[in-house]
Chain A
Amino acid sequence: MDLGLFGQYVMNGLMLGMMYALVAVGFTLFFGVLNVINFSHGDVVTVGAFTALATYLGLVALGISSAPTLVVGALLAAVVSMAVLGALIARYLVLPLKSAPSLNTLLLTLMLGTVLHEAIRLFYPRGANPQRFPSLLPTDAYTFGHFTLRLDNVLMLLAGLAVIVAIHLLINKTKIGLAIRAVAQDEETAKIMGINFTFIVLVTFAVGSGLAAFAGVIQGLYYSEINFAMGLLLGVIGFSSAVVGGLGNVYGAIIGGFLFAALQTIGAVALPFASAYKDVFAFGVVILIMAWRPTGLISEKVSERV
């Protein structure tokens, strides 16, 4: 395979890995603080993307045409509104079910996700069809031999990495991050130490959902298109990535995300005749990893007290 094509695959793999990592971090944060699997997360990505699109269309209708403003505006709107949505989900749907078996929360959030994407399909204008997402980033391309490097992809990759670094800093260097880690480790002790449990849970869900919105916008910018079902597979991949990395561990989630993207890319390269099978291949490997290391590559937090 020539270098250009190889470079293309690497670039694509990195982009996918970044998106999966962003979603996976959300899953792992939710599991960490509340021991819950929030399966509406993938669909929050979708809602975030559509919110960004709608904001963009609104801003354009108001006469704004400067690309940076549009990007920032759409992104901000998406991230903030999804953060709010995440907090609402936590407050009214997940926290009330805290004492119920965790199965119930998994089911509830899965169904909530269905409500979200069905609502988009039914109520967004022509929601059942894929929607064109504007290219708001500079599309200059630099060619190195056979390999073409697009500026917008580089920008998105850098932005994604910046967000991941920001999350790392948030979790490890701030007071709120400390509180999140405390709650994740031992809820009761954290409460005794004066941490407002509910507030921290809401913050965690808000942060995770904000990340989802960011991932949704990146999806839209990368593929120039979004559709109501985009969150389903993304959610499952994100969750699998979080699981492979070890639920509850933020670094594990990031590694898991890139690992899944790498598997998909390998699958696509190895099976060029049926790209649909790349997902089957990737999931197959993930299932084997789960069978070999049930608690994830970096151990899942031990949550049960015997």
Chain B
Amino acid sequence: MIRPLLIARDLTKRFGGLVAVDGISFELGRGAVVGLIGPNGSGKTTFFNVVTGIYPIDGGAIEFDGNNIANLSPQAVFRAGIARTFQRSRLSLPLSIFDNIMIGNHMRLNQGLWFNLVQRQRFKQEFEINFERARDLVRVFDAPLADRMFEPVGGFPMIDRRRIEICRALISRPKLLLLDEPSAGMTRDETSKLMNDIFEVKDRFEDLTIIIIEHEMGVIERITDRCVVLNFGRKICEGTYQQVAADKLVQEAYLGIQ
């Protein structure tokens, strides 16, 4: 039996008296696309933050690719092969598209002082190789965008920014991609375009595993193989979208699921 990529066991995270993540357990297989859903404040983003090392855990365990990643630094989690996007789009707005993507490409770039300051010819070569990589990746999402690699990100609409953010996460070829409400702040059309983008990505990188937090149930229904539903920090249901949507507890939690 193939070992699951991510195993969460009784994961718990407290903020003072508030238990944001309360004993969550589930397993994630390679290549799966799993939706993480639940009402606001149910602990979804906190779960991401705990997995990526932004918060230390208060109980339980997380295993990724056979290794214990609980309480590792965000840098170590990234090196293990987990990349993410953020709920509040965290791009560096004054920097160009290329710059932002290169931040995600950090591990492949030579960071030495001598290389960067003195060996400018070699630096130029590395620059050109990585520029091609970044541009090809952006092209997957939107060809016109790829021609504007050196424009500041702040000047682009939300959908382009989300795409760039996903590119930043993908450029390092992570094993696990965590998408936090990618469709937030976007119109129906933009959301639908973004979904197509994610499908494209899934086609290109077949063994990429994705967890996606979403409120747009249309997205969840279309993209995911499986859903995990959280409420008040606890997992209340797990299954396909259809199974989950029909579950009484889930319906209660949402008080009128769309």
Q: Are A and B direct contacts in the complex by CB distance below 8 Å?
A: yes
> Which residues of A line the B interface, CB within 8 A?
302, 305-306
Inter-chain CA distance A210–B15, complex, in Å, is 34
With the chains together, A306 CA to B180 CA distance in Å?
Answer: 11
- What chain A residues lie within 8 Å of B86 (beta carbons)? 306
Q: Which of B209-229 contact A (CB under 8 A)?
A: none
Chain B interface secondary structure, helix, strand, loop or mixed?
loop
Give the shortest distance, in Å, between B145 (CB) and chain A (any CB): 27
Q: Does B204 contact A (CB under 8 A)?
A: no
Smallest beta-carbon distance A181→chain B, Å = 15
- Interchain residue pairs with CB less than 8 A apart (7): A302-B15, A305-B88, A306-B45, A306-B49, A306-B54, A306-B86, A306-B87
Interface pairs A-B: 5 shortest CB-CB: A306-B49, A306-B54, A305-B88, A306-B86, A306-B45
Total A-B pairs, Cβ < 8 A: 7
User: CA–CA, A93 to B10, complex, Å?
Assistant: 49
Q: 1/0 contact trace for B65-100 toward A, CB 8 Å? A: 000000000000000000000111000000000000
Nearest CB in chain B to that of A302: its residue: B15
When chains A and B are docked, how far (Å) is the Cα of A305 from the Cα of B41?
12
A305 to B86, CA, bound (A): 10
Contacts of B54 in A (CB 8 A): 306
What is the bound-complex CA distance between A40 and B54, given in angstroms?
34
B84 to chain A, nearest CB (A): 10
**Could you tell me the distance between the alpha carbons of A302 and B46 in the complex, rounded to whole angstroms?**
14
A305 to B88, CA, bound (A): 9
Q: How far is the CA of A302 from the CA of B55 in the complex (A)?
A: 12
Give the docked Cα–Cα distance between A226 and B84 (Å). Answer: 56
Minimum distance in angstroms from B73 CB to a CB of chain A: 15
Measured CA separation A141–B42 after assembly (Å):
64
A104 CB → nearest B CB, Å: 14
Interface flags, B7-24, vs A, CB<8A=1, else 0: 000000001000000000
How far does the Cβ of A186 sit from chain B's closest Cβ, in whole Å? 12
The smallest beta-carbon distance between B126 and chain A, in angstroms, is 31
What residue in chain A is nearest B49 (Cβ atoms)?
A306
Residues 87-122 (chain B) with a chain A CB within 8 angstroms: 87-88
Chain A's nearest CB lies how many Å from the CB of B88? Answer: 7
Nearest CB on B from A71, distance (A): 44
Q: Which residue of A lies closest to B45 (CB)?
A: A306
Q: Which chain B residues border A305 with CB–CB below 8 Å?
A: 88
Nearest chain A residue, comparing its CB with the CB of B46: A306
Residues of B within 8 A of A302 (CB): 15
CB distance from A73 to the nearest CB of B (A): 46
**List of B residues within 8 angstroms of A306 by Cβ:** 45, 49, 54, 86-87
